[in-house]
């Protein structure tokens, strides 16, 4: 789903690791050449990094590009984006090589808990 904190969680997960993050949110980067260049730069910087690619599903042939790098064991990947039919098509290439997580939006009580509040302390009436 959109706007549930996927990018934030991934960035927190990458802290202190041999890892990189790149977002394909902007249309000018949502192409195969940009994806290849991003991977080349990250691989020049580190040996076998963990690479998080946000909204990579916007790139045509993203699966073919990543599969090549993955099969050569040059990197591990975390892919984030909202669920759609387009993502499922590419994910078929990684059958047996991936773990998939669904991140639903927080319930109001969960949000309050993260903020250190309780429902009793929050007044919805002014």
Q: Tell me whether residue 98 is in a domain.
A: yes
Q: At 106, phi and psi to the nearest 5?
A: -70, 145
List, in sequence order, the alpha helices (H) in the chain: 6-14, 32-45, 62-71, 85-91, 108-114
Whether 19 is in a domain gets the answer yes
**pLDDT exceeds cutoff 90 at 27:** yes
User: Is 126 a member of any domain?
Assistant: no
How distant, in Å, are the alpha carbons of 18, 23, 75, 95, 105 from that of 90? 26, 18, 18, 10, 25
* Rounded average pLDDT over 23-51: 95
More confident: 87 or 82? 82
Is the four-CA dihedral 15, 99, 70, 55 of positive or negative sign?
negative
Say what the pTM is: 0.72
**Average pLDDT of the chain to the nearest whole number:** 81
* Domain assignment present for 91: yes
Above 60 in pLDDT, residue 59? yes
The answer as to whether 79 is a domain residue is yes
Give the residue numbers spanning the domain of 25: 6-114
For residue 79, the domain's CATH number is: 3.40.50.300
* Number of domains observed in the structure of the chain: 1
Q: Which of 71-80, 106-115, 116-125 comes out lowest in average pLDDT?
A: 116-125
Lowest-confidence pick of 34-38, 63-67, 93-97: 93-97
Residue 44 CB neighbour total at 10 angstroms: 7
Do the domain assignments include residue 123? no
């Amino acid at each position: 789903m959109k706007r549930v904190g996927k990018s934030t969680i991934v960035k927190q997960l990458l802290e202190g690791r041999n890892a990189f993050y790149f977002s394909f949110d902007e249309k000018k980067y949502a192409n195969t050449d940009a994806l290849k260049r991003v991977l080349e730069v990250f691989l020049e910087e580190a040996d076998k990094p963990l690479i998080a690619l946000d909204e990579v599903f916007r790139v045509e042939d993203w699966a073919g590009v990543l599969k090549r790098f993955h099969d050569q064991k040059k990197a591990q990947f975390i892919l984030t984006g909202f669920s759609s039919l387009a993502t499922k098509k590419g994910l078929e290439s990684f059958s047996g090589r991936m773990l998939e997580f669904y991140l639903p939006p927080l319930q109001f009580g969960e949000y309050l808990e993260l903020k250190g509040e309780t429902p009793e302390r929050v007044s919805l009436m002014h």
